[in-house]
Structure 1
Amino acid sequence: MWAWRIFGLIAFALGAIGLVLPVWPTTIFWIAAALAFARSNPAWAAWIYARPGIGEPIRTFAEHGRMNMRSKAAALSGMALAAAGTIFLFWQMPWAMAGSLGLLAIGAAFVISRKAPFDPAAEPPTDTVIKQKGD
């Protein structure tokens, strides 16, 4: 339990850096923090989920593994910028460039594979079990 809390605090602090440093990501660190806090201190996870603008996408991803199109576009744009920077910085080191671009490709494939969030007005989700009255 303490290990999760310490991990959550470190991830939260790294994410907070992104609030003042534009090139530093916030969301991925706060997702990690929310997941860690959900295991160690749910009130802290709820505090992250309550943040305007960022809390609901973090909750949706942490609880359901889903991403909306805006979040996907932002993540993929960031990865594209990281790929351009990788090519610029490592063009004389093909093994480092290939490794970095490979990791970015895996991350992009993961982001692309995420389903859209549930639409409350639509049909019930098909990826969860719905219990009948007699179960």
Structure 2
Amino acid sequence: MWLWRIVGIIAFALGAIGLVLPVWPTTVFWIVAALAFAKSNPSWAEWIYTRPGIGPPIKTFLETGALAREAKIAALIGMAFAAALILVLGHHHAWLMAGGLSLIGIGALYVITRKPVRPE
């Protein structure tokens, strides 16, 4: 129980960085935090779900696995930006480019294949 809480706190803190640093992902870390808090302290998970703007999509994703079109676009734009950074900063290191671009590719494939949020 305490291990889940520690994982949740770390993931939440990492996600909070994304609130002030646009290239840092908030949602991914807060999804992990919500999952960890659901196992250790459900009221903390509920607090995440009630955050305006980011909470409802996280709850929807965890409940249904669906992503809104806008969320997919934002995620893919962020991944494209990260890929560009890897290409610019890591062009002298083939292992860095291969590893980073592979992870981004896997993430992009995952985002693209998520079902869309159904209108209510």
Give the TM-score, by structure 2 length: 0.94
Per the alignment, residue 67 of structure 2 pairs with 67
- Structure 1 counterpart of 2:84, one-letter code: A
Which one scores higher on RCO, CA 8 angstroms, separation ≥ 6? 2
Task: From the two aligned structures, give the one with the greater helix fraction.
Answer: 2
Q: Distance in 2 between matches of 1:64 and 1:95?
A: 36
- Structure 1 counterpart of 2:59, one-letter code: R
Overall identity of the aligned pairs, in %:
63
Q: Distance in 2 between matches of 1:27 and 1:80?
A: 17
Q: Secondary structure at the match of 1:4?
A: helix
Q: Structure 1 stretches (4+) deviating beyond 4 angstroms?
A: none
| Residue 99 of structure 1 pairs with residue 99 of structure 2 | yes
- Structure 1 counterpart of 2:58, one-letter code: I
Per the alignment, residue 25 of structure 1 pairs with 25
Unmatched 5+ stretches in structure 1: 121-135
Unmatched 5+ stretches in structure 2: none
Q: Deviations over 1:11-60 (max 9, x none)?
A: 11111122222322211111110111111111111110001111111101
1:89-128 → structure 2 map (5 Å cutoff): 89-120=89-120
Q: Distance in 2 between matches of 1:47 and 1:112?
A: 28
Per the alignment, residue 132 of structure 1 pairs with none
Q: Deviations over 1:67-120 (max 9, x none)?
A: 010000000000000000000011111222111111110000000010012333
Q: Distance in 1 between matches of 2:103 and 2:39?
A: 28
Task: Count residues in correspondence.
Answer: 120
